[in-house]
Amino acid sequence: MSETGVAPRFPLGGSRAAVFALQARKGRPTPATLLSLAAVREHVDHLAVVVGGLDAEGRAVVDSHCDEVVTVASDVTGLWAYAAALRAWGSRESSFDEIILTGDGWFGPISPLAPVIERMDVRYVDMWSLTDRREGRPHDRSEGRDGEVRLSTYWLAVRRRVRESEAWRRFWTDLPSRPDHGWQVRQIESSLSEVVVQAGFRIGAAFPSDDYPAEHADTFNVDLLVEDGCPAVTREVFDGYPLFYDQHAIVGRRIAAAMATRGYPVGLMWSDLARSSAPKRLHTNGAMLEILPPVERASRREPLRVIAVVHVVDTIDIPDIMARLVVVPGLARCVFTLADENARPAVEAAWRSACAAEPIPFETRPATARRTPDTIVVFDECRDVVNSDDADLILALHTGVDPKMSRNARRYFRRQQLDCLLGDGPGYTANLIELFRREPELGLVFPPTPHIGMSTLGDGWLGHREQVERHLDRLGVDVPLDWASPHAPLGGMWWARPEAVRRLAEERWGTGPDVSAVHSRLHAYVAGDRGYYTRTVATSEHAGLSHGSLEYIGDHMAMTSYGYPAGYTALLHRAGPVGSGRAVDFARMWLRYRHPDWLRAASVVGRVARGARRVTRGLRAHRGGN
């Protein structure tokens, strides 16, 4: 240790500054970030925001929340953003007794910051954080609390004595460029605590891991931290790998409920995450599936205005759909688009019969080019509906089904979609609508992915991922895409706020199965880009059918594997596709897993050989022609 002496407490009447690093999506900070920023502002004498990519409106908002803006590239975050602010300050940083380095890597305040800061003011430490972690020593396989303490870098309060040291100066001078891999970033962030401790300084945490069951309390014991008054929950708790959280029973829904109990507006958090997280990952981590009862739970309120758009591909289900539609609370109008003009008399007669007691306005529109089971008509033939302010919610349905499906699969598909979206009466639908009323940031609701009688799990993109990506780029949507399968209304039916999905009406949509498949996979990403998150809904019957089936499937899939899904799925992903199970397919899997370089070399040789064969065949054909 090169430094000696007793660590100081924060001096009476001392000065405190803060650096707040944030990422501006679409040119401005999110409301959740502004909430955290405002809370930090109350406790410092000078606040600098490090940000890139602000538009004029975003810059005005940030200026109103801070004393100084340090502009960086839009991808600069964490320690690298802190470094930019410290460079911009130069010698000015020495005028502050303590500098807080923080940013949008946490949600809060869940509880007030003031008691925590006041408690740490009287602690004799040189650098402190809200939480810390125990990291195992290299080559030490022992268990328990003998690991090395590393402060969490989403909040670092650094006092003057550290900042005047040679170790501090050298750390920032030698800071490498930000690596591409997350584990390398975490390694560099963790090393800051090591540098400070080795220089002889004392570090501490307001909520140390020694007080909690897990060495990484800010990941594994978040509920206990919230209960004890920790003001922050890290972003990664909701944006991490779902199978890891499944293995460790970390339930984002329970954590969010604990935050809400403390008064935190969790809708702002979900809205923030919807912009930056892959929708299926967020849906899984947040446990966003709602099992709705058939009896209305909330007392009757002024209904939201609902416009239903029904694309009539065939008329088999028209009586059932209409019987369910006419009892939807707040239904203001219904628009039927017709794939076959000959269906018009039957549709009109059925609607008048269904709502004979209380007529509801309706209209029919031709859509004879659209014979696929989807609801593209909402954004093409009915784009005036989605672009108007006449509705609070849009309900999109269709009567079609994939003709390639078996009779049982078709029957199940229709039941699953209609039951989950409309239930068997007004009570179920009122409960669904109440989700939108209760959660202003909820933008889209649809049934869980139908999988009984269908092969939709594991390959939900159906080869259309690149096309979806191109469409989203054209629409200016940069929400991350899910990997294995999209989070999407694959059945083509949904409820939504018009403003959440309105951007889909900006394009002219063609016809055909490929267009249908691409379009049905866009909704959640477009909604997320506007800050709206999604939920799936199901009746108790369909939840039971689905869970029993998935449990059995998962049980049999796991029979040949050992341990938790997070481990053996990583192994399977590394090995790659099974193909048709031929010997050559298993040989490829073995090469991918054990010798990926060999497989790449063999692939190059194979491509060259195939090219040579094509050239040889061409020459022979040319000679034969002569």
In sequence order, what DSSP letters do the residues of 61-129 get, joined into one string? Answer: HHHTT-SEEEE--TT--HHHHHHHHHHHHGGGGGG-SEEEEEESSEE--SS-SHHHHHHHHTS--SEEE
361 and 504 in a common domain = yes
- Other beta carbons within 10 Å of 466: 11
613 and 465 in a common domain = no
Bridge partners (DSSP) listed for residue 17: 46, 99
521 and 604 in a common domain = no
Hey, is 307 helix, strand or coil? Answer: strand
CA–CA separation, 436 and 355 (whole Å): 25
591 and 543 in a common domain = no
pLDDT of residue 363: 95
Bridge partners (DSSP) listed for residue 207: 131
CB burial of 224-243 (b: ≥16 within 10 Å; e: otherwise) equals bbbeebbbbbbbebbbbebe
Whole-number percent of the chain with pLDDT over 70: 96
- Other beta carbons within 10 Å of 165: 19
**Do the domain assignments include residue 379?**
yes
In sequence order, which residues have a C-beta less than 8 Å from that of residue 581 and are 6 or more positions away? none
Q: Which two tokens stand for residue 425?
A: 């009466």
CA–CA separation, 310 and 308 (whole Å): 6
- Taking every pair of Cα atoms in the chain, the longest distance, rounded to a whole number of angstroms, is 100
Decide: residue 389, CB within 10 A, 0-12 exposed, 13-18 middle, 19+ buried. exposed
Cβ-contact 515, 376 below 8 angstroms: yes
Task: For the chain, give the number of residues.
Answer: 626
Query: What is the pLDDT confidence band of residue 173, given thresholds at 50, 70 and 90?
Result: very high
Query: What is the pLDDT confidence band of residue 624, given thresholds at 50, 70 and 90?
Result: low
Residue 521 confidence (pLDDT) above 70: yes
Range of the domain at 624: 576-626
In sequence order, which residues have a C-beta less than 8 Å from that of residue 614 and are 6 or more positions away? none
Q: Which two tokens stand for residue 585?
A: 């397919």
CA–CA separation, 228 and 262 (whole Å): 11
pLDDT of residue 517: 93
535 and 392 in a common domain = yes
pLDDT of residue 143: 43
Last residue of a domain, one of 192, 215, 238: 215
What number is the average pLDDT over the span 293-321? 90
494-496 and 442-446 as β-strands: parallel, antiparallel, unpaired?
Answer: antiparallel
Cβ-contact 191, 153 below 8 angstroms: no
CA–CA separation, 374 and 515 (whole Å): 10
**Do the domain assignments include residue 272?**
no
Peptide bond into 513 cis (omega under 30): no
625 and 538 in a common domain = no
pLDDT of residue 422: 97
Residue 434 confidence (pLDDT) above 50: yes
DSSP 159: E
**Do the domain assignments include residue 156?**
yes
What number is the average pLDDT over the span 310-332? 94
Question: How many domains are there within the chain?
Answer: 3
pLDDT of residue 565: 81
- pTM score, whole prediction: 0.90
Residue type, position 457, single letter: L
Query: What is the pLDDT confidence band of residue 602, given thresholds at 50, 70 and 90?
Result: confident
Of 91, 79, 100, 101, residue with least CA distance to 164: 91
530 and 473 in a common domain = yes
pLDDT of residue 142: 43
What spatial distance separates the first Cα and last Cα of the chain, rounded to whole Å?
87
**pLDDT tens figures, 473-519:** 999 999 999 988 999 999 999 999 999 999 999 999 999 999 999 99
What number is the average pLDDT over the span 223-244? 96
Query: What is the pLDDT confidence band of residue 626, given thresholds at 50, 70 and 90?
Result: low
Q: Which two tokens stand for residue 231?
A: 């003001």
H or E segment and range at residue 269: helix 266-276
What number is the average pLDDT over the span 418-432? 95
Cβ-contact 451, 410 below 8 angstroms: no
In sequence order, which residues have a C-beta less than 8 Å from that of residue 212 and are 6 or more positions away? 221, 224, 225
pLDDT of residue 144: 45
431 and 541 in a common domain = yes
Residue 604 confidence (pLDDT) above 80: no
601 and 534 in a common domain = no
pLDDT of residue 33: 97
Q: Which two tokens stand for residue 177?
A: 């460029």
**pLDDT tens figures, 360-414:** 999 999 999 999 999 999 999 999 999 999 999 999 999 999 888 999 999 999 9
Q: How far is CA 599 from CA 60, 186, 481, 591, 608, in A?
A: 54, 32, 28, 6, 14
Q: Which two tokens stand for residue 222?
A: 């978040």
**Do the domain assignments include residue 271?**
no
- Where is average pLDDT lowest: 32-41, 237-246, 510-519, 616-625? 616-625
CA–CA separation, 17 and 480 (whole Å): 34
**Do the domain assignments include residue 515?**
yes
For residue 402, give the CATH number of its domain: 3.90.550.10
- Other beta carbons within 10 Å of 57: 10
**pLDDT tens figures, 241-298:** 999 999 999 999 999 999 999 999 999 999 999 999 999 999 999 999 999 999 998 7
Q: Which two tokens stand for residue 232?
A: 């922050």
User: What string of H, E and C letters represents the secondary structure of 122-142?
Assistant: CCCCCEEEEEEEEECCCCCCC
pLDDT of residue 591: 81
**Do the domain assignments include residue 242?**
no
- Where is average pLDDT lowest: 242-256, 284-298, 524-538, 554-568? 554-568
CA–CA separation, 415 and 423 (whole Å): 10
Last residue of a domain, one of 215, 237, 258: 215
Of 451, 309, 438, 331, residue with least CA distance to 383: 309
607 and 529 in a common domain = no
Hey, is 570 helix, strand or coil? Answer: helix
**Do the domain assignments include residue 604?**
yes
166 and 129 in a common domain = yes
Of 54, 52, 44, residue with least CA distance to 17: 44
Average pLDDT, the chain: 91
**Do the domain assignments include residue 501?**
yes
Phi and psi (nearest 5°) for 446?
-150, 170
Q: What is the four-CA torsion angle of 534, 482, 498, 502, rounded to 10 degrees?
A: 170
Counting Cα atoms < 13 Å in the Cβ hemisphere of 580 gives 2
Q: Between 189 and 442, whose confidence is greater?
A: 442
202 and 84 in a common domain = yes
Q: Between 324 and 25, whose confidence is greater?
A: 324
Of 239, 244, 241, residue with least CA distance to 256: 239
